[in-house]
Chains A and B, each alone.
Chain A
Amino acid sequence: QVQLVESGGGVVQPGRSLRLACAASGFTFSDNGMHWVRQAPGKGLEWLAVLWSEGSNIFYADSVKGRFTISRDNSKNTLYLQMNSLRAEDTAVYYCAREYGSGTLDYWGQGTLVTVSS
């Protein structure tokens, strides 16, 4: 069965960096686009970035463009999110999600909590 497992969250000081990983299993990872979505405490879902299966097309939300970088290693079935210049407002649960097609996010990981605080 499809599984997505995020890791790498934790407490980090403002201005520092953190890299999240999303380990995928149960499907051919290289066939699917992958997304990162976050949810601040008590707030709604916020889409962050997508990396299409072929790896050539990447898009970011304006809120993270220039600070966050999405990447993937198809040989390791792993998606990454490099987060630089972190701010307090980046505090959230970060989810990775698989794209099924037409923008459908059919499987989600359990999320990893990132807390940006001094």
Chain B
Amino acid sequence: SYVLTQPPSVSVAPGQTARIACGGNNIGSKTVHWYQQKPGQAPVLVVYDDSDRPSGIPERFSGSNSGNTATLTISRVEAGDEADFYCQVWDSSTDHQVFGGGTKLTVL
């Protein structure tokens, strides 16, 4: 089965740029989506189709996908961005959704 690998944690100072990686075998050939989950809340879609943003999501959130790594980039990080972030793809070989293990973003 397809596996997505994320770093357990990423720390960044306010105003800096956070980059959260999502690794997978030839993930660049797949479509990647990203979700933000704050404590006690449901996940929220922040980037879909590798790099598109749903309405209401700040432009500070962006995504890219190439080779074996997809990346969620959060520019000008704010304290309110602190959350767990999950990458996700649809594995067409099994017709299963696959989530990464999640990355906890800490704003220092």
Contacts and interface: CB of A to CB of B under 8 A. Distances in A.
Q: Do A and B bind each other?
A: yes
Interface of A: 35, 37, 44-47, 50, 57, 59, 61-62, 95, 100, 102-106, 108-111
Interface of B: 1, 31, 33, 35, 37, 42-45, 48-49, 54, 84, 86, 88-90, 94-102
A35 B43 CA distance: 13
A105 B54 CA distance: 11
A106 to B, nearest CB: 5
A104 B96 CA distance: 12
Contact of A109 (B1, B37, B42, B100): B42
Given A44-B100, A104-B33, 11 more contacts: A37-B99, A44-B99, A45-B37, A45-B102, A50-B95, A59-B96, A103-B88, A104-B49, A105-B33, A105-B88, A108-B44
A46 B100 CA distance: 9
Given A45-B102, A46-B99, A47-B98, A103 B42 contact: no
Nearest to B32: A103
A97 B49 CA distance: 17
B41 to A, nearest CB: 8
Given A46-B99, A47-B96, A102 B42 contact: no
Contacts of B31: 102-103
A106 B42 CA distance: 12
A47 B48 contact: no
A55 B27 CA distance: 29
B71 to A, nearest CB: 18
A108 B97 contact: no
Going nearest first, the 7 A-B pairs with the smallest beta carbon separation are A103-B90, A47-B97, A44-B102, A108-B42, A59-B95, A104-B48, A45-B99
